[in-house]
Structure 1
Amino acid sequence: MRLPLLLCLLYYFLCDVDGLKILVCFPLPVKSLSILGEGVVRNLLVAGHEVTYITVYPLKNPPKKNFRQIDISSNTAFVAGDHMPSIEFILNNKVEKTPSRDIQLFGQEAARMTLNHENVTKLLEDPNEHFDVILSDLLETELYSGFAVVYECPMIWVYSMGAHWQVLRMIDVAPSPAYDTDYLSSNTIPLSFAERVDELWTRIQWQFYKTFFTQPEERRIYEAVFGAALAKRGRALPDYEEVIYNASLIFANEHDAVRNRPSTPQNFKYIGGIHVEEPVKPLPKDLQDLIDNSKHGVIYFSMGSFLQSKTLPRKLITELLQMFGEFKQTVIWKFEDNSLVDVPKNVQIVNWAPQQSILAHPNVKMFLTHGGLFSSIEAIHFGVPTIGIPALFDQITNVNKAVLNGYALKVELSHDLAKDLKAAIGTMLSDDRYTKKVKELSALYHDRLTKPGPALVYWVEHVVRTRGAPHLRSPALHVPLYQRLYLDLLAIILTTTFAFVLLLRRLCKKSNATKYDQKKTN
């Protein structure tokens, strides 16, 4: 008996360590999203897997082993020039919320460009290509699920935000809008009556656009691209609606230190912080010396990579510089050109900032941020309080959550930004409760059984080992709405009640008619 048992164990462990062939697709021309993709790729490579990476932002120094890049950098033309708003445009036009239909169209057009890119076409047309599992970025389109159809392997989504109904609906029942806000919403839990109505109306609009405009066009793209690829392999293309709800798992870029998250099914896993490199890379010597020698601490200011500080109005830039010059602290401002003049002595302008390395330094007192989710996660990871200046997309939601969690202040993006920001900085410097709260949340964030990188690797391997992990899937996904709401039972009750009332009325009528005839006879 020992020999068969030994052979079984040996087979299991050998299979377990064999490298998988994994296709990772991060096709959106948004630099911050590529940071998540790089985190996913890095951890899969460390685990010994072979990765093919479809990316808009190719790695400058790619690994030489088990790694191949599919360059779709031409997709950046989609967001070049006047296609995307500047901060000045947002201020002057009072842009408060991006319409959900615009985001859907953005995701759809990026998918069209990606799937028709010559390098992706070559990949799809090669009948010798095969993969064990697909991991793809998810934002408002499920078109990349077609890769799993072509390569006959499990599909895993990687979502750059948290547990929102738009993604949960793909593997479970969408949570109620009474307690689950849209990712573009400024509402926070608990919701007032007006906010609940607003969330319901937002969801109805999103579903209307998706059902009647976006999804029909996605189906046409799916049939044109993946239909041709399958035809060369001698297989028929399954229905689009069947494919998009067949994901094995969804990874979400969120973590357990966040409050007011909706309940999630077993195949929804949090990997927030996977993009943070450990150990953190050392600072360049000039920045290391600057932060080390800042007697009063450092304030770090960045508006992210998508909306850059250089697109602020010139008058507002001058006001911000003058305001920063009034503080004793050193201010490191990520500013993307070298045209600034009259920069105060305590202000250090950097075109590019190693953000994680800066936030990791104990001398950094606060982080002035646009409120992107990656920056929000890094603030908690390194325990740095924030002042949020949200502009677009999910930034408003993220900053509101940070304020609700007690480690942040919110400043509206306006032409009075310098004055409002000065007051907020003064408050945070004089009140240490924000620092105490973020340290508390940081401890909660780090207190987890497994770090996000190893957790991602484990669940990817688990999905492949179990051929799609069907045991993790929620049965609610395949229960029709009328059954979930017991509308069939309600129909039976109403029909029975109506029939009973109708019968009772007829009996009463008959009884009254009989009595009338008797009286008439008498």
Structure 2
Amino acid sequence: MVRMHHTLPMVVATVQLLPALWITVSCARILGITTLPFFSHQIVYQPIWKELSLRGHQVTLVTTHPMKDNGLTNITEIDIGEIILSVLGEASLSQDTAKDGSHYSILRKLFENHYIIADAVFSDRRFIEVYNSSYVRFDVVVAESNISPIMYAVAAKFKVPLVGVYSFGVWMGLNHAIGNPHPLSLYPEIWSGSDGRMKFFERIRNTLYYIWTRYYLNFEALPKCDQIARKYLGNDIPYIQDIEKNMSLLLLTTNPILYEPRPNVPTVISMEQMHIKPVKPLPKDLKQFLDNAKEGVVYFSLGSNVKSINIPEKLRKVLIEAFAELPYKVLWKFEADDLPGKPENVLIGKWIPQQDVLAHPNVKVFVTQCGLQSVEEAVARGVPMVGMPFIADQTRNIQRLSEEGAAVGLEHTTLTKEEFKNAIFEVVNNPKYKQNVKRLGEIWVDHPLPSLNRTIWWIEYVIRHKGTKHLRSPTADVSWFEYLLIDVILVLLTIVSLALFILYVAIKFILRMIFGGRKLKQN
């Protein structure tokens, strides 16, 4: 009994110490790198950094949009936003994925821009102190997976697992690199404007583009990416393509509505609606404007990439004339203090709390460029849309929403005042659009685990197991020649051809023996 009394305090102390030990063991050092200077993309990642910090991980973040949250004491943020905009410009990045550009020119321009971005980021003194330090250590690198794999090399420099994250779907080249199935008959490039029901000539175009992509990557883009990575990180790293192939995890903003269902490898995880937040009170003047609009409100915004101030004068004139003739009030996100010719029923604002505005019951329709994050917000708030696509995946987004009966699509280059007004009246007055948006919203959020929880669990899974080699797709190590069974097909064709040739020779020999013998007897 005495021994038990003496042992009891030790047991209690040990039990009390276990949680502290668990926290210490589970705390990881995480390096995050996101280089796109678009707020709509970065707001998807911010909940990830915040949650990792709140869970006790030490996060070093290289980003174009720092959170600057004083409540997060274990995040170090390196702001590279101004650096990237100074060397490239936000408008340049948006124009590179304009829907009227060819697939080939889009991909080439995107890589060329990312060469410039990588040089600027790697040259930043604060980042140099991170990747060149002899005492800085990390357990995982989480890097934005936007076309270029250059930043993946930082994970190889630190010899830690790599996690890719992107507020978009995945492009064809990355699918190929990680061994994710990508049948050319079903899945076009994400900025092509096509969906999985491609016609014959679209499949031809998709196949030719894929062949050109393989050539461009292997002989131009990847060697250049590898050269830039070695310039700053040294030669003691694998080839850039091998680093990309060994990605432990890929987190994507996809969903079952806008993206065709596909067989993903286990390391590709969806994280849709990451940035959707609870509804907050509106500013007093904005709330008053919306509350007083008993006839309804049209909310118009082209997002953070396209911007209303940059649209052609002809299109702006069409919009202004159409808005002036509507019986509704109009809230327009316009990035200037003044809008020449602004109708009386229009209120403009440089910045508008979009999620909270869309939650207001008087907002009847959202006129949008159909960027992925804007669509997610509209669906989350149950607001039907009129889509006016400009760049990237916006064309396919409005196409899918129109097929689902949740939106009406318009072509901004040929838009007339009457077309625009008719589209707004159709969406406002036909209840099917509202009903279909709500239906999509119910599908979108029906998951066994919220996206943020799922995302954090997988990142910590990579940390716990020091990568995911056990989940790696064997397709990543198979050449296209083997993957398409070209070698097997050639061997089988050779065997069949040889067999047919032998059969032909044998039949010819037999016929010659038969008919040759008869002819000899007759003579």
| CA distance, structure 2, for counterparts of residue 182 and residue 252 of structure 1 | 15
Structure 1 window deviating more from structure 2 (34-43 vs 238-247): it is 34-43
Match of 1:43 in 2: 51
Q: For residue 99 of structure 1, give the secondary structure of its aligned residue in structure 2.
A: helix
Shift of 1:96: 7.8
8 Å CA contact retained: 1:56, 1:76: no
Specify every segment of 5 or more residues in structure 1 that has no aligned partner in the other structure, as ranges. 229-235
Which range is displaced more, 10-19 or 179-188? 10-19
1:243-273 CA-to-partner distances (Å, cap 9, x unmatched) read 1100111001122344523221111111011
2:125 and 2:227 mapped to 1: Cα distance? 19
- 2:308 corresponds to which residue? 309
Question: Given the alignment, which residue of 78, 85, 94 partners 1:70?
Answer: 78
> C-alpha displacement at 1:359, in angstroms?
1.4
Deviation larger for 249-258 or 339-348: 339-348
Is the 1:166–1:174 Cα contact (8 Å) retained in structure 2? no
The equivalent residue for 2:291 is 292
The match for 1:159 is 166
C-alpha separation between the residues in 1 aligned to 2:406 and 2:267? 30
Q: Deviations over 1:459-506 (max 9, x none)?
A: 111111122122332222223333333333323322223333343455
Partner SS, residue 365 of structure 1 = strand
Question: % of aligned pairs identical?
Answer: 28
1:64 positional shift: 4.4
Aligned to 1:107: 114
Equivalent residue letter for 1:129: V
Name the CA distance, whole Å, in 1 between partners of 2:24 and 2:455: 15
The separation in 1 between residues aligned to 2:198 and 2:125, in whole angstroms, is 48
1:211 corresponds in structure 2 to 218
Name the counterpart of 1:416: 415
The code of the aligned residue for 1:312 comes to: I
Q: Is the 8 A contact 2:371 2:397 kept in 1?
A: yes
2:90 and 2:46 map into 1 onto residues whose CA distance is 26
Supply the distance in 2 between the matched residues of 1:513 and 1:95 (Cα, whole angstroms). 65
Q: Which amino acid aligns with 1:362?
A: P
Amino acid at match of 1:57: H
Aligned to 1:231: none
In the alignment, the residues of structure 1 paired with residue 164 and residue 375 of structure 2 have an alpha-carbon distance, to the nearest angstrom, of: 22
Distance in 2, Cα, partners of 1:481 & 1:82 = 37
Tell me how far 1:164 sits from its aligned partner. 4.5
What's the CA shift string for 1:259-310, capped at 9, x where partnerless?
A: 5232211111110111223x23322121122222221222110011122111
Give the match for residue 134 of structure 1: 141
- Aligned counterparts of 1:510 and 1:172: Cα–Cα separation in 2: 51
| Alignment partner of 1:380 is 2:389 | no
Tell me what 2:499 maps to.
Answer: 500
Query: 2:392 is matched by which residue type in structure 1?
Result: F
Structure 2 counterparts to residues 160-175 of structure 1, below 5 A: 160-175=167-182
- Taking the aligned partners of 2:365 and 2:382, their CA distance within structure 1 comes to 9
Aligned residue identity for 1:78: V
Partner of 1:200: 207
1:268 maps to which residue?
A: 268
Aligned residue pairs: how many?
505
The code of the aligned residue for 1:211 comes to N
Aligned-CA RMSD value: 2.9
Change (3 A) 1:16 1:268: farther
1:328 shift after superposition: 2.4
Structure 1 stretch displaced more, 504-513 or 213-222? 504-513
Partners of 1:17 and 1:303 in 2: CA distance: 46
The aligned residue for residue 247 of structure 1 is: 247
Distance 1:304 1:380 in 2: 16
Shift of the alpha carbon at 1:510? 5.4
How much has 1:70 moved relative to structure 2?
1.4
d(CA) in 1 for partners of 2:487 and 2:273?
A: 45
TM-score, length of structure 1 as denominator length: 0.88
Residues 1:329 and 1:11: Cα distance change in structure 2 (over 3 Å): same
CA deviation profile, 1:71-94 (whole Å, cap 9, x unmatched): 22311113438746779xx89xx7
Letter in 2 for 1:66: N
Structure 1 CA distance for aligned equivalents of residues 317 and 518 of structure 2: 102
Instruction: After superposition, give the CA deviation of every residue in 1:153-210 in whole Å (9 maximum; x if it has no partner).
Output: 1111012212553332232244112111211112233221122122222323333322
Amino acid at match of 2:86: A
Q: Distance in 1 between matches of 2:347 and 2:171?
A: 38
What is the Cα deviation at residue 387 of structure 1? 0.8
Q: Distance in 1 between matches of 2:182 and 2:478?
A: 15
3-state SS of 2:408 partner:
strand
Q: Is the 8 A contact 1:145 1:243 kept in 2?
A: yes
Q: Mind listing any 5+ residue stretches in structure 2 that lack a counterpart?
A: 1-10
Q: Partner of 2:460 in structure 1?
A: 461
TM-score normalised by structure 2 residue count? 0.88
Q: 1:57 aligns with which of 65, 69, 73?
A: 65
Contact conserved, 1:41 with 1:51, CA < 8 A, in 2?
yes
Moved more, 193-202 or 371-380: 193-202
2:168 partner amino acid = M
3-state SS of 2:177 partner = coil
Q: How does 1:285-364 map to 2 (within 5 A)?
A: 285-364=284-363
Deviation, 1:357, is 1.4
CA drift of 1:241 comes to: 2.5
CA contact (8 A) 2:315 2:413 kept: no
Q: Identify the residue that residue 183 of structure 1 maps to in structure 2.
A: 190
Instruction: Tell me, yes or no, if the aligned pair for 1:177 and 1:200 is still in contact at 8 Å.
Output: yes
For residues 102 and 338 of structure 2, the distance between their equivalents in structure 1, rounded to whole angstroms, comes to: 29
Sort the Cα spacing of 1:409 and 1:79 in 2 relative to 1 into closer, same or farther, 3 A: farther
8 Å CA contact retained: 1:29, 1:78: no
Tell me the CA shift for residue 441 of structure 1. Answer: 0.6
In 1, the alpha carbon distance for the partners of 2:25 and 2:417 equals: 55
Among candidates 30, 33, 36, match of residue 25 of structure 1: 33
Q: Give, as a single letter, the amino acid of the residue that structure 2 aligns with 1:55.
A: T
CA distance in 2, matches of 1:494, 1:127: 57
What SS is found at the alignment partner of 1:128?
A: coil
In the aligned structure 2, how far is the partner of 1:17 from the partner of 1:294? Answer: 56
- Structure 2 CA distance for partners of 1:86 and 1:483, relative to 1, 3 Å: closer
User: Which residue number in structure 2 is paired with residue 125 of structure 1?
Assistant: 132
